[in-house]
Structure 1
Amino acid sequence: MSALKVVEICAGAGGQALGLENAGFEHVLAVELDPNACATLRANRPDWKVAEGDVADEGTWRPEDYKDDLDLLAGGVPCPPFTIAGKQLGAADERDLFAWAVGLAGRMQPKALLLENVRGLSASRFSAYRQHVLDTLLELGYVGEWRLLQASDFGVPQLRPRFVLVALKEEYAGYFHWPEESEQPPAPSVGEALKDLMAAEGWEGAEEWAARADTIAPTIVGGSKKHGGADLGPSRAKAAWAGLGVDAWGVADEAPGPGWKPAVTAKGEKPGPKLTTRMAARIQGFDDSWKFEGRKTTTYRQIGNAFPPPVAAAVGRSIAKALRKEGEPRERRDAVHDHVYAILREASAPITVDQILVKLEKRGSKAMAVPDIERHLSYLSRDFHIESTERKPGVLAYQLDGFKAFVGQDGHERHELFKANKAKIS
């Protein structure tokens, strides 16, 4: 079968790219901001066209140049807008490109769209954001669906939940089926995955270490350029790594050699060896042939921020089957992620909280009290402009008045914030 064409934005070090390639997709363009990640892509796939720079800057690339017969638009847009560490600013974060990427599908008209992000985007805080994305896609002629996927269900030896959006044009949407966990290889333990690498420099304790590291790893965290150095995550993750016999307070230059023994800490602890970047890459599901460019910290950041290739490959194969209309089409079910947002969107005039409650009851949605509605409206106002008017003394009526997110506007504050913070964006 002929390869399917993909343009990938925010491509990073190639985790999603490698997975999609394994699923039968051919990259006609990869766009990435980080110079080290671009160097990694070029080193591994010299024949790919790699555009380096701000993906939303048409000086970097012109989306319309790639719209002809494009099968897939894919990407892993920045995660901080949806993380607790990033303060969950959502549409108010200058790094948020999710809504822009959805709109990009309207400009480029691919047959399918694949975007992945952190689990935080699945939280109730962003239910209206998700609903807006699905509504926008439907207006553009796509049927979208969200799914939380666990990397460990796809043979990746770590806990790594990723929230994935897949959207396809109407004629293909019914043929899309999410990959079944039962069809995926079982995830090895950390010890099984890394024993040969731990023993590569002659360390006699590798076998014993591997027996101790008998479960999958916690999520590898790459962090951002604001992060000081390479380590394996916050305190809870470090404790989990310690239970696997791994010192998570840094990344090693090489595997332990003959006679290696841990230094005893001030607390009397004997931490195990640190991981190397190659070990971290294997935990992420990269094969050993994939080379990373840059110094240790930047290499680790590239690895830690990647979409695990086996997960991308499984989703990519499902998309490829749908584009070829293989299998039996399934019945489409429209999911409503935020009923309050949906009611405001449908309202032709300002609406009070009491009116919202009545409409929620008619829709058969989960019951909410007045304080719940008011709190929810406050959440909505973080991502949407909501106008309030006094219907009568003490009674406010609300009307949805636009999305705050960057979707390509020339005058959006994102541009100035991006310029000011570019050195810290990754």
Structure 2
Amino acid sequence: MKALVALVAAAALSACGGSRVGQDAGPSDAGLSDAAVDAGVDSGVDAGVDSGAPDSGLPDAGDAGFVDHGAPSTTYPAYAIDWPQLQGSDAGVLAAPRFVSVTFDGDPLRAGFESFLTAVGPSTYWQTTTAEYGVGLPSVATPVHLAVTAPTLINDSDIQTFLAQQLDGTHAEWPAPDGKTIYTLVYPTGTSIELGTLKSCVTFGGYHSAFRLNSVLVPYIVMPRCTAKPSVPALSTEFKVLTGVATHELVEAVTDIDPSGGFGYQLPQSSQLAFATFAGAETGDMCEFNPAAFVEDPQLNATVQRTWSNAAAAAGHEPCVPASAGAFFTAVPTMPAAVPITLGAASLMSRGLKLKLGESRTVPLPLVSSADTQGPFSLAAKDRLEFSGMGRALTFRFDRTSGVNGEKVYLTITRTGSDPNFGGAIPFAVLASKGTTTTYWFALVGQAP
């Protein structure tokens, strides 16, 4: 697949649903390679306990009439959670990447972007987001300055053709491809880019991909010039938008260097494939739903995007790094069954809840946090269709709408329709909110026979 950072968030680049900051969408999401699935996903999913019986919509009171709502706890997190862990290998990672900036003459952001690209490698941000995956300090090649006029419209196939022409050995100003050099193409205002049916600054704000030229891998990043969002401080100028998108793509490009190859970090373990359905599942994608995904980095004097850390997640901490201030908290639906899900051409099994059309069942949600949240956090749920403004396939009812670490709430889910994607699986999100902070946990409903 090709990784995208999209422009679809109320809290960030445009309005869609909730506090969404971006998505991997359309054919790029649908194009997960079989190799990616085979290499990155454990095929075995414990079927768990699934009676298939209809549910009353109420928590099971048991023989004593007692509903287990847990209790506030000072053990953080209070429950053992199956945290998402992106699966990948060294074969999909660039340990010693080299960046080259490619800009057009007359671009007012050229100098600033070239300085940023030089500074990002030695930064604390880069160490924090990439070191655990085996990525080291990048080098920076001499920038390429294009004296030609940028096209008003270009597609991804044209971009690959252009790169192949420039890298044919007759253009000395271009660093030769060596499998580790990432060509970062920055298009100016006035250029529209198409990726299949997707449109730049409408559906996506940037993407990364790769192709082979004479058997040598040529990874590249494409960034259109999208307008600023003055209401969002971290995205209030075009330069901030540009660097924010650039960090998303740079981190993903070095941790999943060839998205179609299937060896990079692009999918979580089989039990958590729901996390691949809303926004894609590369390191940048996994944090796009965080309302504070884009932050201003004082060391770089630029906007960066927080990205996924397997290590932080496994420790029960804020999984999007650099971490925000305060305690991380979330609500995790307990999914009792193995359900089928289709990702691209691959038919897989993941954890979920089986429901017939019109059927309701209730699942517990353990509440966890990394530290004291200084009061309860509130809960809500939406399915993927509702996030996208396409109606809904599920309805939700909580027996309690807030709580703290150590407590449990119960969520009754009713299937009222279907999602046309993912082979019948219906993705949904549980939102936990306190103040201006919202976290998301993604899960699946499958169709019961």
Q: Which interval holds the TM-score relative to the shorter structure?
A: under 0.3
**Greater relative contact order (CA < 8 Å, ≥ 6 in sequence):** 2
When the two structures are superposed, what TM-score results if normalisation uses the length of structure 2? 0.22
More helix by share: 1
When the two structures are superposed, what TM-score results if normalisation uses the length of structure 1? 0.23
More strand by share: 2
